[in-house]
Amino acid sequence: MGRFSIRLVAAAAVAAMSLPALAAGKVCNVQTYGAKADGTTKDTHAIQAAIDDCAKAGGGTVELSGGTFVSAPIVLKSNITLDIDKGATLFGSSDHADYPAKTEFRAPGTQSLVSATDAENITITGGGTIDGNGASWWEMARSERGAGIVGKVVFRPRLVVFDHCKHIRLENITVQNSPSWQIVPYYTDDVVIRNVRVLAPQHSPNTDAIDPFSSSNIVIDHVYADVGDDNIAIKSGLINSPGPDAPSKNITITDCDFMHGHGLSIGSEIAGGAQNIHAERIHFKDTDQGIRIKANRDRGNDVSNISFKDITMDNVRTSILISEYYPKVLPQGDVAPAPVGRLTPHFHNITIENVKSINSPWAGVIVGLPESPVKDIVLKNVDIQAKRGMTIAYATVTGTNVKITAEDGKGITLGPEGTATFK
């Protein structure tokens, strides 16, 4: 085991040890505070009263059990466990007016159903479900796109947001049907997301499962994600961000199953960079992409010390996609170098090991910018069976035991300043 792997394992162990156990202290059952759990009555005030009462006592457990709790946005506090019992659902109100506009992530936004800000020692667990009831929001987004987004833009709420928090655990819970991104740690440190299911219809817009954003020391383990956008998207900084932006770093992703969705992504909004990201024992089936690292000249930074190991894919549209031209994949038209600036992406020191992909329409692409080529990409024991091969340009790739079998054309095609040296 290399020094990098040892550091990652150690970081994961420290993160797990530092997380709180389920909060002891006061137990606040929301029905005691007047919640009806009848699937119709809005229980917002009762749920928030239970959270606030437990918080005033120094922390405790807020219990939801035995029904469907319709709610507008609620705010969690430090030292709170939200225990949603198996068979219980926290269900987002269908009234869009219940979600106030707010500045979120330094941009216009809308308050999420569940959030916490500047808080610590929070757990969400219990075996139940948080359902964002997002269908009406998705329909609105589709109609705006169809009309070219004319007039006032309505920003859809995310579902669960931790903003500048620390010591967070989500465990044994289902999160589903968010109007937009589903679980977002933002500038948050020390997070464990384990034994969690994240669900949304295949074509629901922007329903990313988990989006760590400028966050660090994160463990994502045994997650099943079947969604309409990125299964995971690691972000840091918005498009054209003026800065400063903190990186996302020290993230491990293990033993996950990703079904419909856009794959395990780093980017595209990565203006703060991303380092020390490790993914291992991941299975992709029917995703649009598998391994994906993406940026462009208006949203990049240093992305380095990244590894993917023990990866299986079946019917993944693009197995490996590393591109500095997002939302395009390959350069269009002029490929002359541009000046290097604060938002220029720099992808380097990336290892992809023990990968088996079958039934893939496209083995993939590894392509950098002429002013910032992708460097030090290492492939080990990679076997991709695809209809179309892999394109490498403005990138340096080395490897051992690499087999890319294409039904049409070459297994590997080298574009400008692309090198591939395999043993």
Whether residue 31 is contained in a domain is answered as: no
Q: Per-residue pLDDT averaged across 41-47, rounded? A: 98
Whether residue 381 is contained in a domain is answered as: yes
The token pair at 376 is 């030090």
User: d(Cα 5, Cα 280) in Å, to the nearest integer?
Assistant: 11
Tell me the residue range of the domain where 288 lies: 3-24+118-128+137-422
User: d(Cα 77, Cα 232) in Å, to the nearest integer?
Assistant: 26
Contact 222, 248 (CB under 8 A): no
Q: Per-residue pLDDT averaged across 87-109, rounded? A: 95
pLDDT in tens, 342-379: 999 999 999 999 999 999 999 999 999 999 999 999 99
Q: For 378-413, b where at least 16 C-beta lie within 10 A, e where not — what string?
A: bbebbebbbebbbbbbbbbbebeebebebeeeebbb
Whether residue 231 is contained in a domain is answered as: yes
Percent residues over pLDDT 90 in the chain: 89
On the 0-12 / 13-18 / 19+ scale of CB atoms within 10 A, 339 is: exposed
Handedness of CA 386, 389, 391, 392 (dihedral sign): positive
The token pair at 318 is 């693009």
User: d(Cα 47, Cα 91) in Å, to the nearest integer?
Assistant: 12
Q: What is the mean pLDDT of the chain?
A: 93
pLDDT in tens, 228-247: 999 999 999 999 999 999 99
Whether residue 53 is contained in a domain is answered as: no
Write down the pLDDT at residue 335: 80
Write down the pLDDT at residue 146: 57
pLDDT for residue 20 is more than 70: no
CATH number (domain holding residue 233): 2.160.20.10
Structural domain count of the chain: 1
- How confident is residue 22, by pLDDT bands cut at 50, 70 and 90? very low
pTM over 0.75: yes
CA 142 centroid distance within chain: 22
Contact 397, 370 (CB under 8 A): no
- Say how many CA atoms lie within 13 Å of 182 toward its Cβ: 36
pLDDT for residue 60 is more than 70: yes
Contacting residues for 296 by C-beta, under 8 A, at least 6 apart: 268, 324, 325, 326, 327, 345
Q: Per-residue pLDDT averaged across 272-287, rounded? A: 98
Whether residue 82 is contained in a domain is answered as: no
Write down the pLDDT at residue 331: 84
Please give the full DSSP string across 283-322, using - where no structure is assigned. EEES-SEEEEEE--TTT--EEEEEEEEEEEEES-SEEEEE
pLDDT in tens, 133-187: 999 999 999 887 754 443 445 689 999 999 999 999 999 999 999 999 999 999 9
Whether residue 185 is contained in a domain is answered as: yes
pLDDT in tens, 301-313: 999 999 999 999 9
User: d(Cα 223, Cα 232) in Å, to the nearest integer?
Assistant: 10
Continuous segment of H or E residues that includes residue 196 = strand 189-199
Whether residue 73 is contained in a domain is answered as: no
Whether residue 235 is contained in a domain is answered as: yes
